[in-house]
Structure 1
Amino acid sequence: MKKHPNKHIREAIEYAIENGWDVVDSGKSAHAKQILRKVKQCHGDEL
C-alpha cells in the first residue's frame, strides 16, 4: 500500500488497521467506494 501524503489520513488508516479493518488498495479515485463498502458491512447492510 502506498503511503498517503496527508499524515492525518495515514494515522486514521493505521488506527483502522489496528482495530480490525482491512485495507483494500483501489484505483485513483475509488478509495471512497471502498470505505463505504466497509462501513456498510459493519452495519450488516449489503451493497
Structure 2
Amino acid sequence: MKKHPNKHIQSAIEYALEHEWVWIASGSHSHTFCKLRCGNPANEHKDHQISIWCTPSNMENHAKQIIRKVNQCF
C-alpha cells in the first residue's frame, strides 16, 4: 500500500484501516488516490465507502471527512 503525500490524509487512512476498513487501489488514470470500504465482517455496511482524492482543495477537511465516514460505522 502506498502512502498519501499529505500527513493528515495518511493519518485518516491509517485510522480507517485500524477500524477494519479495506484499502482498494485506484486505477492508474484516476484522480483518486484510493478507495476505502467498510470491512465489517457481518457485511452490514457494504455500502459505506469513500474515495480518497490525490489533491483535494482542503487537505485537512478531507481528512476529517474520512474520519467522520469511518465513525458512522460504529
User: Normalised by the shorter chain, which TM-score bucket?
Assistant: 0.5 to 0.7
CA contact (8 A) 2:26 2:33 kept: yes
TM-score (norm 2): 0.42
1:41 aligns with 2:47: yes
Structure 2's unaligned 5+ residue stretches are: 39-45, 49-74
Taking structure 1 as the reference length, the TM-score comes to: 0.61
Q: Where do 5+ consecutive residues of structure 1 fail to align?
A: 43-47
Deviation at 1:41, TM superposition (A): 1.1
Matches of 2:11 and 2:32, distance apart in 1? 20
Structure having the higher strand fraction is 2
- RMSD over aligned Cα atoms: 2.4
> Which 4+ runs in 1 deviate beyond 3 A?
none
- Percent of aligned positions with the same letter in both sequences? 49
Match of 1:24 in 2: 24
Partner-residue secondary structure (3-state), 1:24: strand
The 2-side partners of 1:3 and 1:31 are apart by 9
Q: Which has the higher contact order (CA 8 A, sep 6+)?
A: 2
Q: Is the 8 A contact 2:4 2:33 kept in 1?
A: no
